[in-house]
Amino acid sequence: MNFLNTLQAGAAQGLWWAVMTLGVYISYRVLDAADLTVEGSFPLGAAVSVVCINAGMNPFLALLVAFVAGCLAGAVTGMLNTICRIPPILAGILTMIALYSVNIRIMSDRASITIAADSARTLLMHWLPITNGTWVSILGGIVTNALLVAVLYLFFGTEIGCAMRATGQNIHMARAMGIHTRWMTILGLMLSNGLVALSGSFVAQFDYGSAMATMGQGAIVIGLASVIIGEVLFCHKDRSFAFKLIAVVLGAVIYRCIIALALQLDFLKATDLKLITAVIVVFALSLPVLKKQFAQGKLRRENERKLNGGGGTEHA
C-alpha cells in the first residue's frame, strides 16, 4: 500500500512538473537553446499566482496571470539574446539572477508566502466527487497536460509554429527563407517560460500550498532529465511531434516517481535529493549512448556470426 501511495504522489507531482518540462522542451529541442531563465520563471509563476490569490483573485485566473508573467520573463531573455547579442546561456543566467530579486519584491520582501485563500486544488475538491487530494491532482494534471499537448500540437502546425521550428533547426536557412528569426526566438522563449511559470503556479496551488523564492533551483536539470527520459523510452525518429510531446509528459511523471521511490529507501535522506537528481540525469544522458553501443555490438555480433557461418559452408 505504501508503494502504491508513493507512486500516486510521484505521479501527481510529475504531472504538474510536466508542464514545466513542455516549456523546457520548446527551448531545448525546438529552439535548440538551453535556457536557464527557467530557474527564475518557475518561482515567478508561483509568486505571482499566490499573491494574486491572496489579493482575492480567482485561482484559475491567477494561473493565466502567472503565464503572462513568465512570457514577459522569456521576452527579456529573448531580447538580451537577439537584440543585445548576448549568448543564450548567459542571457538566461542574467534574467534568472534578476528574477530572484523580482520574486522577492513580489512576495513583499519575503522568501516565501503561503496561500491564504482557496486554491485551484481546493475548489476542485469542492466541485468534484473526489475527497482524495492526490487523485484530484492526478485527474487535473492529466486533463491539463492533454489540453496543453493538443494546443501546442496545433500551434506548431501553423505558419508561425513551423517558422519557429525552422529557426531552431537551421537559423541560417530560416533567414534565407525570409523568416524573422529574431522574433521567432523571442516568441519561442516567451512561450517556453510562460509554460514554466504556469507550472510553478500549478505546483504552488496543488502541491506546495505556497511560493518560495528558491523553489526553482535545479528546475532546468529536472526539465532536461524528464525530456531525455521521455525521448529515450518512448521516442524514435519516425515519431510525430504530438507523440514527442506526450513522451515528454510521461518522462516527467517517470522522473518524479523514481525520485519518490528513491526517497523511500532507508539509507537515503531528503537531503540526498540533489544527489539522486544528479545520478538520474547522468543515467538519462548516458542512455542514448549505451543504447547506441548496444545496437552496434549486437549488429557486429550478427555480422561475425554470418561471416563465420558463411566461411564454414564455403570450406566444406
> What are the pLDDT digits (tens) for 89-131?
999 999 999 999 999 999 999 999 999 999 999 999 888 887 7
Angle at 144 between CA 207 and CA 163, to 5 degrees: 120
> Across the 316 residues of the chain, what is the mean pLDDT of every consecutive 10-residue run?
81 94 94 91 96 95 97 97 93 95 94 93 88 88 96 95 93 92 96 97 94 90 88 79 93 91 80 81 79 84 82 47
pTM above 0.85, yes or no: yes
The CA-atom distances, in angstroms, between 301 and each of 288, 296, 298 are 20, 9, 5
Helix (H, G, I), strand (E, B) or coil at 211: strand
Burial bucket for residue 151 (CB in 10 Å: 0-12, 13-18, 19+): exposed
φ, ψ (nearest 5 deg) of residue 24: -65, -35
Confidence (pLDDT) at 316: 42
Q: Compute the distance between CA of residue 55 and CA of residue 33 in angstroms, rounded to an integer.
A: 36
Q: Cell numbers at residue 277, please?
A: 537528481
